A and B are shown apart, each in its own frame.
Chain A
Amino acid sequence: MPDGGIGAPTKRREDTRFLTGRGKYTDDFTPQNTSYCAFARSQVANGKINSVDMSAAAEMPGVLATFTGEDFVEVGGNPAGWAIVSRDGEPMKEPKRPVLAHGKVRHVGDAYAAVVAETLEQALDAVEAIEADIEELDAVIDMASAVAGSGSLVHDEIETNTCFDWGWIEDNRAATDEAIKAAPHVTTLELVNNRLVPNALEPRASIGEYDPGTGDYKLTTTSQNPHLSRLLIAAFVLGIPENKLTVLAPDVGGGFGSKIYHYSEEALVLAAAKKLGRPVKWTATRTESFLADAHGRDHVTKIELATEKDGTFIAFRTETMANVGAYLSNFATVTPTFLHGTLMAGNYTVPNVYVNVKAVFTNTAPVDAYRGAGRPEATYSLERVIDKCARELGMDPVEIRRKNFIKKDQYPYASAAGLEYDSGDYDALMDGLEKTADLAGFEARRAESAKNGKLRGLGINAYIEACGIAPSNLVGILGARVGLYDAATVRVNPTGNISVMVGAHSHGQGHETAFPQIVADMLGVDALSVDIVHGDTSKIPFGMGTYGSRSLAVCGSAVFRATEKIIVKATAIAAHMLEDKPENIEFNDGVFSIKGTNKNVGFGDVALKAYIPHDYPIEELEPGLEETAFYDPANFTYPSGAYASEVEVDPETGKVTICSMVALDDFGVVVNPMIVTGQVQGGLAQGIGQALLENSVYDKNGQLLSGSLMDYAMPRADDLPNLVVDHSHATRCTHNPIGSKGCGEAGAIGSPPTIVNAVVDALVRGGHDVDHIDMPVSPSRVWAAMNK
């Protein structure tokens, strides 16, 4: 491995600007003559808009323009990116999602009007002057009653609150039902996967610009995928020609899914910029983030696990209601379906799996993919019901999992939920976990805790996830409305340094450091001579962006392929320079040489030759050294892991303290272990946050009770233990050129059941008759469980 190549824990180059305050996030840009936008947002969860009178607002000082839903009736809506077909063959229901609410407001925070003014305060003053007559209607909040259809409708025109009723795999339904009926043991668990607010620390922000001289638009925005946003705005929402719209996602302060989607505020600042011929800026307050960012999770699930008496799994059957909120956000329909149902066989050789998901409209903020997206829900259901089953059968939780693990000689393995896992070794991960987490020493630690009056518990679980989304042909059949390849252009500059333009976007993942490691490794050049360009549609090839732990597996593979092409062409140029045939040339450590001789030419000289093609075989070879590759993956990748946590419960207050968290993951080939460790730790914090602290709660009228950081508990440094991470038990991904699987979401997927398993274990060992506590396992809930 060259210094700084694949496998090196290279320090991040992007850190220098962030550590000195020189990062450039969207709100840090204020183009000359910027005006400011503020939104009027619904205070009620469901309301009929009788009138919105903007006349007083328009007269307020500094006001430049006002907008209501009326202004956008002629333009398109923000679409769902994935069409789901219900069990009965009916297409899903897709009500229009307008730029500004029109006719009805459908959740607290739903924007129904906007004002642009010279200053932000003037815009806010003007919003207060809007006279809106909005008649409050009964809100639909609870999913069960929404589905029952007894009360109001979120969208009158679709005549139901059920978006779809999906079965996976429908053909397996009868067999699964039969298997469960005949099974000697069935464990049933009803659980809630709590609703979360992603809360990337940088609130969303967007700046629209329009140049009347050229007709060009520019949107600077907090996006994980600028090309996707451009496509949606161009093709669906505003109809701006794609070639007339540049979308720039500069430094972005975290996304976790919430910045994948196109949001109305982006369309509005563009429309306003066009109208005014001035830049228009909007920056969310945290309050707006809570009200109007896409939330995550929010499933209510019943899962059954049928087993033999010895713990051999026979079937998993799941019934889930998934909240999609008031409108379909871009990935809202795929998250609870294909990113969830297909994982419901877990790491196990279970023959029967059936999943039913009803997606439900409610008068709440839209719900969409949040770190893990569907896989945390799957993992949580599986690993909780398995724990409960083990307890019922009197089996050790490690033993029951091992008994059912897919063994390492069974790959490729076709799971009962329709995926083909390419590689893995779950027993090796569990072996490693037993050691690293010192499971054998638990009993002694428990006794020590007991001496201090604390109940100690141990939680363990496995997980598997699917990332590196995804083969376009496959997802096309399943309803995706986009392809899911990614793209990279490797441009070797005449002086030999290299610019790599990528479709993926880095908002914490360290692409600027890790991607050059791949190129440096392949070309034998110094990684610092390679720079990554991302986030600007005017500079990068059309790629699908960063989410689903796909950047390295998909976009990194595109970088790999493009670099391969560079090597092929450079070899041809080198062959000409060395006066031999390309097949006789070998390339090692940045040097092209004729095999078996010491005749050679360096990479830099070849690059120069490519751009100064004197004495050059111009008939056979184009000048230049720049290659683009689009990489469409052959399969998902399947990271897996084994996690353990020990907790202490204060029996008097119910407070849970996490004593340890150990995560062993198999990510295949790791390019930068330092970055991967950080990704896992960050994911763990979010998973622990879900399990212990975070909860987005609406009251029955649709008011968001957890609408600020005062009531929505974010994990802080002192909520978390040392996070022990080990990714040394790796099996290579077999179908992408790097061999990497993806690590961004693993921690958030694997850890919620670990914590809840541990808390339940602590209570059971403490003599309490408890088999489940819903997340977050807050002190009050644990206390209630102990005192029911």
Chain B
Amino acid sequence: MPKITMNINGRETSTEVENRTLLSTALRENLYLTGTHIGCDTSQCGACVVHVNGKAVKSCSVFAAELDGATVDTIEGQANADGSLNVIQQAFQDHHGLQCGFCTPGMVMSAAELLKVNPKPSEAEIRDYLEGNICRCTGYQGIVNAIMAASGQDVPSIAAE
């Protein structure tokens, strides 16, 4: 079995995989990084999104063996160094951007890429960017609000008047 080395969340990490091992499987089963979730088998739900070499990728749709030497960032590496929630994570909590939490890791990773390429997205741009991330719980409103807030923009108060 090929042995691959990746920089995962800032640490050089080696593991043995089969050629057919998906990145998501390597993360979840070899490395116990179970924050990356599997919600579908057709590459559509986005629960598995991580960053590979700085870009959002569906980890269920790439082979680990292709990624020897790559840098991979997952939800487990997103918090601030002191363990507190980063700006996006905090905004998700503040604006009720999650319920069951299953889509959340992928949402946060997609949001992170969005804000990298577009630091002040409009609401429509946010909705469009999240095309590959399905959430069955929130109706997306809290998620959209969270991303607006994380980019320093105003959002309507979420509590009822």
> Hey, which bits of chain A sit against chain B, CB under 8 A?
9, 11-12, 14-25, 27-28, 30, 121, 199-203, 251-254, 256, 283, 285-287, 507-510, 670, 673-679, 681-686, 708-710, 714-718, 720, 722-723, 725-728, 747
- Would A710 and B44 count as touching, CB distance under 8 A? yes
Q: Is B52 an interface residue (CB 8 A)?
A: no
Identify which of residues 8-53 in chain B touch chain A, using a CB-to-CB cut-off of 8 Å. Answer: 20, 28-29, 33-42, 44-45, 47
Interface string of B60-93 (1 = CB under 8 A from A): 0000000000000011101100000100010011
- Would A681 and B160 count as touching, CB distance under 8 A? no
- Would A19 and B100 count as touching, CB distance under 8 A? no
Most buried by B among A254, A670, A720, A727: A254
- Would B130 and A23 count as touching, CB distance under 8 A? no
Partner of B29, one of A30, A678, A723, A725: A30
- Would B139 and A508 count as touching, CB distance under 8 A? no
A14 to B137, CA, bound (A): 15
- Shortest 10 CB-CB contacts between residues of A and residues of B: A21-B35, A18-B101, A253-B102, A685-B139, A508-B99, A508-B100, A21-B75, A681-B139, A28-B34, A718-B127
- Would B160 and A725 count as touching, CB distance under 8 A? yes
A670 to B139, CA, bound (A): 20
CB distance from A286 to the nearest CB of B (A): 4
A722-B137 contact in complex given A677-B96, A709-B44, C-beta closer than 8 Å: no
**Chain B interfacial residues counted at CB < 8 A:** 59
> Hey, which bits of chain B sit against chain A, CB under 8 A?
20, 28-29, 33-42, 44-45, 47, 74-76, 78-79, 85, 89, 92-94, 96, 98-105, 108, 123-124, 126-128, 130-131, 133-144, 158-161
- Would A684 and B136 count as touching, CB distance under 8 A? no
A16 to B85, CA, bound (A): 8
A252 to B40, CA, bound (A): 16
Partner of A673, one of B40, B42, B92, B159: B159
- Would A254 and B93 count as touching, CB distance under 8 A? no
- Would A717 and B140 count as touching, CB distance under 8 A? yes
Closest A residue to B79 by CB, please name it.
A20
CB distance from B61 to the nearest CB of A (A): 13
A19-B108 contact in complex given A12-B96, A253-B101, C-beta closer than 8 Å: yes
Question: In terms of DSSP, what is the predominant structure of the interface of chain B?
Answer: loop
- Would B160 and A19 count as touching, CB distance under 8 A? no
CB distance from B11 to the nearest CB of A (A): 15
Given contacts A286-B41, A718-B128, 5 further A-B pairs with CB under 8 A are A15-B101, A253-B39, A678-B137, A681-B138, A717-B140
CB distance from B56 to the nearest CB of A (A): 15
- Would B126 and A509 count as touching, CB distance under 8 A? no
- Would B130 and A254 count as touching, CB distance under 8 A? no
- Would A507 and B41 count as touching, CB distance under 8 A? no
- Would A21 and B33 count as touching, CB distance under 8 A? yes
Interfacial chain B residues near A673, Cβ < 8 Å: 159-160
- Would A23 and B137 count as touching, CB distance under 8 A? no
A283 to B25, CA, bound (A): 13
Interfacial chain A residues near B139, Cβ < 8 Å: 678, 681-685, 715, 720, 723, 747
- Would B38 and A717 count as touching, CB distance under 8 A? no
Closest B residue to A676 by CB, please name it.
B160
CB distance from B156 to the nearest CB of A (A): 8
- Would A202 and B142 count as touching, CB distance under 8 A? no
Interfacial chain B residues near A254, Cβ < 8 Å: 99-100, 102, 136-137
Closest A residue to B157 by CB, please name it.
A9
- Would A685 and B138 count as touching, CB distance under 8 A? yes
- Would B160 and A723 count as touching, CB distance under 8 A? no
- Would A15 and B100 count as touching, CB distance under 8 A? no
A21-B36 contact in complex given A681-B138, A720-B139, C-beta closer than 8 Å: yes
A202 to B36, CA, bound (A): 12
A718 to B123, CA, bound (A): 10
Partner of A15, one of B28, B41, B98: B98
A675 to B138, CA, bound (A): 10
- Would B40 and A709 count as touching, CB distance under 8 A? yes
- Would A714 and B98 count as touching, CB distance under 8 A? no
Interfacial chain A residues near B75, Cβ < 8 Å: 19-21
A136 to B72, CA, bound (A): 48
Interfacial chain A residues near B38, Cβ < 8 Å: 27, 203, 283
A35 to B33, CA, bound (A): 20
